[in-house]
Structure 1
């Protein structure tokens, strides 16, 4: 499965747990860290954990290895490392503070299929 297809599956997993403001950034031309970032947020710690857990479960279902998950216990900013794709699941307050979209403003936004569902 191609990385951009996996990004779409991750976005759907986030949407299934009512994550807000889900975006995907194509990082290939701006960073060596990953090909894609998926960024979203939840409104409380329980929701943030639920979103991250859903991403991991969907990757497990597709036999895609989650290399590591950091920040799960605190649930303020959970990083889910899937190799070429890094998911940032924020608590709303932390997302506003760190503002990764502005930090990586040179990265192109990847259109997400969930936007078509309305």
Structure 2
């Protein structure tokens, strides 16, 4: 019986993590982020449940995406545990505990190729959650 309660709680936590990741993805999409990828890494690491990876066309756009995501999650009552790289704008990491967001300047993303590094993570389809080009 105790396991049923535990599973129920874990399921609820996972849904909260996914909602948080989707909020980050939507805000990145609103800021015209490129190649948004959401990976469920919960079965392969204890670092986080989800990695969200996206790119910007310039350092300034990368910084703008990071600022917008932080502002949106702050509205939802969440603050990052850590923020790295925001000043330079080449690779900004936003750590929300269960969701870690990587926002890259496109050439830097190609260099580090996190998608290959974490290829065992399950890709979460984002089509129905994001407006994308020409949508609305």
Unpaired runs of at least 5, structure 2: 1-14
TM-score (norm 1): 0.95
SS in 2 for 1:93: helix
Is residue 62 of structure 2 the alignment partner of residue 69 of structure 1?
no
SS in 2 for 1:2: helix
In the alignment, which of 25, 29, 40 is matched to residue 26 of structure 1? Answer: 40
- Which of residues 104, 122, 130 is equivalent to 1:114? 130
TM-score, length-normalised on structure 2?
0.82
Greater relative contact order structure (CA < 8 Å, 6+ sep): 1
1:40 lines up with 2:50 in the alignment: no
SS, match of residue 96 in structure 1: helix
Q: Equivalent residue for 1:54?
A: 68
Count of residue pairs brought into register by the alignment: 118
Residue 30 (structure 1) shift: 1.0
Is 1:98–2:87 an aligned residue pair? no
Larger C-alpha radius of gyration, 1 or 2? 2
